[in-house]
Structure 1
Amino acid sequence: MPQVSFAHPSLCLNFLPLLHRLLPSNPPTVRDVDVPPLFRERFILTGYRPTGMSWRCYALSLFQIHNETLNVWSHLLAAAFVVLRFMVFAIMRGGGPEGEGFSVDASSLPLVLYVLSAVTYLSCSAAAHLLQSHSEQAHYSLFFLDYVGVAVYQYGCALALCLYSSNTAWRQSMLGQVFLPAAALLAWLSCTACCYAKLRFRRPYPLHRKLCQLIPMGVAYLVDISPVAHRLATHSWTGSPALPLHFLQVVLFMLSAFFFSCPVPERFSPGRFDIVGHGHQLFHILLSLCTLAQQEALFHDFLWRRPAMVREFGEERLLLACASFPCLTLCCALTALAMRRQAQAQLMKEQR
């Protein structure tokens, strides 16, 4: 009986080496002693990617099991969900009172900027954790970018919470009067402090390095969440579907801050949680859930406040508040670039 061949053998033999070149297999992960101290994490003993490989290898390590895999995927999936959920909301619920589709105007622009800020911080974080092992210069540059993303998200939250989630009594308070300038300043200080702490201190990190990061970020969070805290304390939760979601996101943020600050559970069993379950991974997962809960709460607040926003704030004031968002982003980006130059100079000096 004649045999049927579906492909010429020479074509298969030519195709396989091409496929191997396009999708090379990454080298296996190594132990902490096999990478420079800059890339090591306390109590994480295995699962490190070798340094000095090509950028393509680190990009393909997205599909490799290592101690950063869950950090990357948790924020990538969260970023995708944020975008998809916003698209669904814009189509299904984002129309105005006449039922027209979602449009970007003075009342909806803060919500768009919030979604952009969330996607920015999630994407920058995923990129930093995916690619940082390339070199020491890349490590510093990518984590400076990560800190810019965090500051942008801080201010995106502050802008949305101020305009959608606050009540009249809070807006007339002293804090409400200076809220947005204070939030912008604290976001920039958070970015600057994190960049400085990353550049200034070396492993093993002293306690004041963590304090240098946590104090500005903690103060920024307390200020940014104040509109929500005031509503939670002064309004009945049964009157608004947004308030239970706001409370949930506060709880999730507090839990994520705990795991960011403390290397648990890996402290109690070094090496056991290298790939799955160490503190930074739990921080990433909880922060992603916090963002998703906050987005849902803001959707409810947006629908509640949109009809009266232009009348209450004025179109010019809303647009001016939104214009401060790119200004803050530019200030943080310039700060990160300045820190990157200092890191480059420091590394060159050490190599001499």
Structure 2
Amino acid sequence: MDGVHHMSEDSELISETIEKLPSSVSREGKGKRLWKKVKYQLVEYNSLPAYLRDNEFILGHYRPEWPLKQVLLSVFSIHNETLNVWTHLIGFFLFLSLTIYTAMKVPKVVDLHSLQLPEVLKADLHKLQECLPSLPNMPDLHKLSGELKSTLPSIDLLPSFSRWHVMDLLYNCLPERFSHSNQTDVCVLRSMKEDVANLIAPLMLRPITRWPFFAFLGGAMFCLLASSTCHLLSCHSERLTYILLRLDYAGIAALISTSFYPPVYYSFMCNPFFCNLYLGFITLLGVATILVSLLPVFQNPEFRTIRASLFLGMGLSGVAPILHKLILFWHQPEALYTTGYEVLMGVFYGIGALIYATRIPERWMPGKFDIAGHSHQLFHVLVVAGAYTHYQAGLVYLKWRDLEGCRGN
């Protein structure tokens, strides 16, 4: 009986074990999923490896050495680098759109039928071909409004003609139709002739070269994309952090250097010595900054102020060509407009560098700005604002030189 009793107990034990087996397996699966979830949880500053400790005032929400897949997917999750990634990623797509728009944009042309001019003056415009025999390839002005609505004519005009020379020819060609007894009519019609000459002349010559402007746009996109990539992926490993930080510093130097290309080139395009001098100097300074940033010691947190000062010094090196431009073109309103934009750009960059170096506002309330509002995010926003301000200045330069050429230099 005792044997039967023991066999019964053993059967019950086996049954209980079998019944518990699925539950145990389920708990094991849940345990693995829970461990995986815990493994990729955000951690505090004190739990980070030494190479990821950069800002002791941001206390939490770090991603320590995650696998590359989880790091890439974290672009859509909330952590202390989320806004650092997106502020510059959105800026990259903004400048990509501006680059495409600028490349596709065609200079506006004159629609003769839409001009609010007297019919007799419109008729005079159609006689310009007979008046300008020295420009044999000039397009038929009767077809001007239809052919030039979307593109400039693909004609190869004589390269010896400068823009202001063509404008003078046009002005002299348009007939003088006014009454000598009415001084007001004289002023009005002379002004109309000047306006027409200014409108027609740009259509007869190729626009000024755009490469300095696109160099700036390329530098801005490189900087913004490199920064976003660095903030997203640098937590993966120490080696990747080292590489991406150098890429980030190179992007900053590229943005600062190429920002000088449009103002220097378009201000001194008719003075090759100063143009090459300033462009060469800022390019060499940018290359030197990139080389210095390759030194391992450059990454250490205690060199934060030195990094900010070096990039700020690059920006301040642009004061000389700007002052030189103002001296040369003090009588040109475009010089004042572009300088205003450049000063505003410098203010944005300068405040951004100051905030970056001083770690404001998180140093005042550590841990309160971990997710949003800390210094690096504010720095990113100010960089995008400064770059966009410089884009607006570039448009003024292009319009100025397209219409004026080297006249007045």
Structure 2 length-normalised TM: 0.60
Give the whole-Å Cα distance in 2 for the aligned partners of 1:291 and 1:25: 41
Give the whole-Å Cα distance in 2 for the aligned partners of 1:65 and 1:26: 16
Give the whole-Å Cα distance in 2 for the aligned partners of 1:155 and 1:96: 34
Alpha carbons 1:31, 1:46 under 8 Å: kept: yes
Give the whole-Å Cα distance in 2 for the aligned partners of 1:270 and 1:245: 35
Give the whole-Å Cα distance in 2 for the aligned partners of 1:231 and 1:42: 44
1:266 to 331, 347, 362: 362
Give the whole-Å Cα distance in 2 for the aligned partners of 1:222 and 1:254: 9
Partner residue in 2 for 1:349: none
- Is 1:128 the equivalent of 2:230? yes
The 1:300–1:29 alpha-carbon spacing in structure 2 relative to 1, beyond 3 Å, is same
2:281 to 182, 194, 200: 182
Partner residue in 2 for 1:213: 307
Alpha carbons 1:47, 1:66 under 8 Å: kept: yes
- Is 1:250 the equivalent of 2:349? no
The 1:167–1:112 alpha-carbon spacing in structure 2 relative to 1, beyond 3 Å, is closer
Larger Rg: 2
Deviations 1:31-78 (A, max 9, x none): 112211221222110010121x22121111111111111111011111
The alpha-carbon deviation at position 280 of structure 1 amounts to 1.0
Alpha carbons 2:298, 2:307 under 8 Å: kept: no
Give the whole-Å Cα distance in 2 for the aligned partners of 1:152 and 1:178: 18
Report the AA paired with residue 45 of structure 2.
D
- Is 1:44 the equivalent of 2:44? no
Partner residue in 2 for 1:114: 216
Matches within 5 A, 1:337-348: none
Give the whole-Å Cα distance in 1 for the aligned partners of 2:153 and 2:71: 39
- Is 1:191 the equivalent of 2:307? no
Give the whole-Å Cα distance in 1 for the aligned partners of 2:107 and 2:97: 14
Alpha carbons 2:99, 2:217 under 8 Å: kept: yes
Give the whole-Å Cα distance in 2 for the aligned partners of 1:279 and 1:253: 13
Give the whole-Å Cα distance in 2 for the aligned partners of 1:307 and 1:47: 54
User: Is there any run of 5+ residues in structure 2 with no aligned partner, and where?
Assistant: 1-32, 111-147, 155-205
The alpha-carbon deviation at position 244 of structure 1 amounts to 3.5
The 1:304–1:148 alpha-carbon spacing in structure 2 relative to 1, beyond 3 Å, is same
Alpha carbons 1:72, 1:125 under 8 Å: kept: yes
Partner residue in 1 for 2:297: 200
- Is 1:277 the equivalent of 2:373? yes
Alpha carbons 1:67, 1:276 under 8 Å: kept: yes
Partner residue in 1 for 2:158: none
Give the whole-Å Cα distance in 2 for the aligned partners of 1:75 and 1:134: 20
Deviations 1:121-158 (A, max 9, x none): 10001100110000000000001111222222222112
Give the whole-Å Cα distance in 2 for the aligned partners of 1:92 and 1:289: 23
Report the AA paired with residue 254 of structure 2.
V
Structure 1 length-normalised TM: 0.69
The alpha-carbon deviation at position 213 of structure 1 amounts to 1.9
The alpha-carbon deviation at position 167 of structure 1 amounts to 8.6
Q: Percent identity?
A: 27
Give the whole-Å Cα distance in 1 for the aligned partners of 2:153 and 2:48: 50
Give the whole-Å Cα distance in 1 for the aligned partners of 2:378 and 2:47: 25
User: Is there any run of 5+ residues in structure 1 with no aligned partner, and where?
Assistant: 1-19, 314-352
1:100 to 151, 175, 191: 151
More contact order relative to length (CA 8 Å, sep ≥ 6): 1
Partner residue in 1 for 2:260: 158
Partner residue in 2 for 1:30: 43
The alpha-carbon deviation at position 310 of structure 1 amounts to 8.8
Q: Which has the higher helix share?
A: 1
Q: Which SS does the other structure have where 1:77 is aligned?
A: helix
Partner residue in 1 for 2:393: 297
The alpha-carbon deviation at position 202 of structure 1 amounts to 7.3
Partner residue in 2 for 1:223: 317
Report the AA paired with residue 227 of structure 1.
P
Give the whole-Å Cα distance in 1 for the aligned partners of 2:353 and 2:266: 25
The 1:311–1:90 alpha-carbon spacing in structure 2 relative to 1, beyond 3 Å, is farther
Q: CA RMSD of the aligned region, Å? A: 3.5
